[in-house]
Structure 1
Amino acid sequence: MKSVLDKWWIGWAAAVAVVLCSFLWLWLRPPATEPDRQRDYLASSVCLLTGADGVRGTQATPVWAGMQHASQATLVKVSHVAISGDETVDNAATFLAGMAQGRCDLLLAVGEVPTQAVLSTAAKFPGTRFVVVGVPGAGPVRAVGGDAAAVRELVEQFADGQ
């Protein structure tokens, strides 16, 4: 009878050890890592100045789409700012100055008021490249067509030639 009890305790102890080891393995194992969602962007950035409609405006939508596609291909940072308040050239120039001084290496403008602000103010910011969309440029301001493909090509060239 003693030999049967000895075997029963050995089996029971083995079962407890397996359960305990399984629990410890599940509890102490390192967590599963998720795929890295972080994108390592380039140091330079491209910004879009729009009218009050923002990137939902009819002229700005394809420009923003082209900028986003170029960002995915080149990892250049893109952002946009819509003019708020009065849609005047002076007010737009305030937004433009903030963008040029703060974070934008290439600044695109789309729409009548943002474009006029760029054409009248760009010379004050020699460290920033300016592009107007859909209208002729002048002086230090370059012009590009208003379709997504043209804007994408422009931003990709910028990213390549930093």
Structure 2
Amino acid sequence: MESWWARRRVLVMSAAAVALLAGALGWLLWPEPEAPPAPRERQYRAFTACLLTDDRGIAGEQARAVWDGMQRASLAHSIQVQYLTVDGPQTAANAAAYFNSLALRQCQVVIAVGEAPVGALIEGKGRFPSLRYVVVGEASQVDGVTFVPETAGDRITSTVESTVGDLVGSVSN
């Protein structure tokens, strides 16, 4: 009988050792959990730059160059950018509603490209004195408005990028 108990004890101890070894190997060889995927959402500052364009939208040469500069500024400074196209008659009076919409959307900077959008900005900027304004193209100097001269597309892009970057810095400080 003792041999039966001795064999049983050896058998139980062997089974426990095998189970313990299997558990240790399983724990050591278990694959690391995959890292969570990188967030797809960008974290933005509380700053939005808005573009008001004529009826061609960002398909126009100047507007495309401005939009490219705004997107570069967005990447460099983690700001949001958006644009709005003036639909209908291309007059300052019609564009005023679109300008007001951007101002009420909490845009900190409003950039205008095209005759009607520029006219609406110049006429309406007094209603929203806390905003910063940029006009691209030929226009007479107006207090409180930064002018980007009409030049080649690459020059407009880089000038808008640095202008928006400067405005982000001046608002953040």
Report the TM-score, using the length of structure 2 for normalisation. 0.74
Instruction: Kindly report the root-mean-square deviation, in angstroms, between the aligned alpha carbons of the 2 structures.
Output: 3.1
Deviation at 1:141, TM superposition (A): 2.1
Kindly indicate whether the alpha-carbon contact (under 8 Å) linking 2:137 and 2:149 is maintained by their aligned counterparts in 1: yes
Q: Who is 2:145 aligned against?
A: 141
Kindly indicate whether the alpha-carbon contact (under 8 Å) linking 1:123 and 1:140 is maintained by their aligned counterparts in 2: no
Equivalent residues in 2 for 1:1-162, closer than 5 Å:
32-136=35-139, 137-146=141-150, 147-162=156-171
Equivalenced residues, count:
156
Kindly indicate whether the alpha-carbon contact (under 8 Å) linking 1:106 and 1:129 is maintained by their aligned counterparts in 2: yes
Q: Which amino acid aligns with 2:100?
A: A
Deviation digits for residues 23-66 of structure 1 (CA, Å, limit 9, x no counterpart): xx78xx85542122221111011000001111111110111101
Point out the more displaced range, 98-107 or 32-41.
Answer: 32-41
Which whole-Å CA distance do the structure 2 matches of 1:145 and 1:47 have between them?
18
Deviation digits for residues 100-138 of structure 1 (CA, Å, limit 9, x no counterpart): 122211100001110111111111111211111122331
Aligned to 2:52, the other structure's residue is in SS state strand
Kindly indicate whether the alpha-carbon contact (under 8 Å) linking 1:52 and 1:83 is maintained by their aligned counterparts in 2: yes
Which whole-Å CA distance do the structure 2 matches of 1:76 and 1:159 have between them?
8
**Identical counterparts, % of pairs:** 35
Which whole-Å CA distance do the structure 2 matches of 1:102 and 1:35 have between them?
30
Which whole-Å CA distance do the structure 1 matches of 2:127 and 2:144 have between them?
10
Q: Who is 1:3 aligned against?
A: none
Unpaired stretches in structure 1, ≥5 consecutive residues = 1-5
Kindly indicate whether the alpha-carbon contact (under 8 Å) linking 1:45 and 1:104 is maintained by their aligned counterparts in 2: yes
Kindly indicate whether the alpha-carbon contact (under 8 Å) linking 1:48 and 1:80 is maintained by their aligned counterparts in 2: yes
Moved over 4 A (4+): 29-32
Larger radius of gyration: 2
Aligned to 1:153, the other structure's residue is in SS state helix
Deviation at 1:140, TM superposition (A): 2.6
